[in-house]
Chain A
């Protein structure tokens, strides 16, 4: 108790240095713990990009490619799925609902997707469904619902006339204006790729392409299985009647004899994708750890720098009966107190920061930061920081020990 109070008084006496040392430790702890919180928030948002869908089915191809092209609107689709195949699986007894997904040509860099009303009622992300700021889903083949970012970037409002056409060539084809679309609704911001897409009906998509003199059809080029009836689609989403049948259904689909398909389980595929892109977080953690090391070295330097001016203090303590071990303990306790207070301040900074910034962060980035209690990783970090801080204090303490043995009661001043 005496040592603790001496250490505390001594730290307070050097308030500016102690404060700065504490701050540097706190900042590195905040960085480390903050990154952990943000990582968790980002991972949860990422995992929530698509929810409630049991299977995503596309033409035979890679898992990631199917996921990227349907959920993220990135990469090219694996091919097309014929309408007949879609209808066949839709009627499968294990299937509760399906959402067709037909990727059309881009509109000013944004994806145009043909789908059905099913999409607006069944699709879930982060346990939410697609809702509208204004208007509603497209009803006719002349209506288009647009994502929040599309509306913002292209300045479209409800009832705006939109000419969906093929990229750069758009201007030169008079026919396109022959089939202009009307904005039927603007979708609430979702912080998912939905924000960057335009949704039309399947008929609307066909009409849009016919207006282009058959110059494209699906983005994949001319459909391979051009049969009677509706145009092929890019992929479809499936909700099963019973979750436990998902794996069985997936296997059946992957073994479809009529048309080669790839069925993926979104949660699994998202997890795999996160493994790949999530490695960026390792870099963040390395940076945070380096910052922490700098913070600890800073503490070591500050304690070392104070030693010379404290030789007299050590001699006084020796004179009133303190042993060299007491001197060592005093300095180690000082660094330990700095490390513990630094760690606590750092954690407080993270919680305070999240508390203040979370609504802004969610509104801006769609990352829901939650004030969850410290996880085992964080406790491990904090434990290591306190241990490392105390160990770092051993170096100046050892020096003080040597000094106090050499000085005895006559420190050279």
Chain B
């Protein structure tokens, strides 16, 4: 794992945050992070109790939320200088996102869910020779190949989460963001899920930002961070 980190060491950090502030309601900051940096290819575990602003931080990193102040640089691009449309494009091209649950568009097949990023982003599309074949390959690696033509409603939660990982990974985006992807899984499935996730993220050479309140998962990661310690808003707020 350190090899991979080294191989990308020369490039810009995957995420660099400086004095980042965000509030849903004026005057009540949810995020206030002076500095935070993830190296390219790093696997980072970020933990914090419920309501501490984990999802909000991921929303900022994904460019869906716009910070009130500060700078947020992804892969050398300062998101705060981009228009919201440009941020959407950037996200489509460079970021894979996995939700806690309900990751899939109900009216698309499993295969269509996986290939969706290739249809939204030319960059993602250009990194695979054929989206269908790429989906097939990812599905095999994630042990869901038999489900490709299924309706997503027929899938178990564990299967759905693996489909979500396949979708996040297709077209090898530089950054994979997971928001508590295992919290709906039982212990056995959670371990298998993490194994598959790590193997495939390593294969793609992506940076992994994994958020959870479950500290027992931290062991597998290059680095473990507590949001409370980084986020002045959380400590100040005394939640």
List residues of chain A with CB under 8 Å of any chain B CB.
2, 6, 9-10, 12-13, 312-313, 315-326, 408-410, 413
Residue of A13, A315, A320, A322 contacting most chain B CB atoms (<10 Å): A320
List residues of chain B with CB under 8 Å of any chain A CB.
55-56, 58-59, 62, 64-65, 84-85, 88-89, 91-93, 95, 97, 99, 102-108, 116-117, 119-121, 167, 179
Contact present for A409 and B167 (CB under 8 Å): no
Residue of B95, B104, B107 contacting most chain A CB atoms (<10 Å): B107
Q: A13's closest neighbor in chain B, by CB? A: B107
Contact present for A2 and B106 (CB under 8 Å): no
Contact present for A13 and B106 (CB under 8 Å): yes
| CB-contact partner of B58 in A317, A320, A409, under 8 A | A409
Which residues in B have their C-beta under 8 angstroms from that of A413? 102
Contact present for A321 and B108 (CB under 8 Å): no
Contact present for A321 and B91 (CB under 8 Å): yes
Contact present for A10 and B107 (CB under 8 Å): yes
Complex: A323 Cα to B99 Cα, angstroms: 18
Q: A409's closest neighbor in chain B, by CB? A: B59
Complex: A413 Cα to B64 Cα, angstroms: 18
Q: B92's closest neighbor in chain A, by CB? A: A321
Complex: A383 Cα to B65 Cα, angstroms: 39
Which residues in B have their C-beta under 8 angstroms from that of A13? 106-107
**A326 vs chain B, min Cβ distance (A):** 8
Q: A318's closest neighbor in chain B, by CB? A: B64
Contact present for B102 and A312 (CB under 8 Å): yes
**B56 vs chain A, min Cβ distance (A):** 8
Complex: A326 Cα to B91 Cα, angstroms: 14
Q: A7's closest neighbor in chain B, by CB? A: B107
Residue of A9, A315, A321 contacting most chain B CB atoms (<10 Å): A321
A319 with B107, Cβ < 8 A, contacts A312-B102, A325-B85, A409-B179 known: no
Q: B59's closest neighbor in chain A, by CB? A: A408
Complex: A313 Cα to B108 Cα, angstroms: 11
A316 with B59, Cβ < 8 A, contacts A321-B89, A321-B91 known: no
Which residues in A have their C-beta under 8 angstroms from that of B65? 408
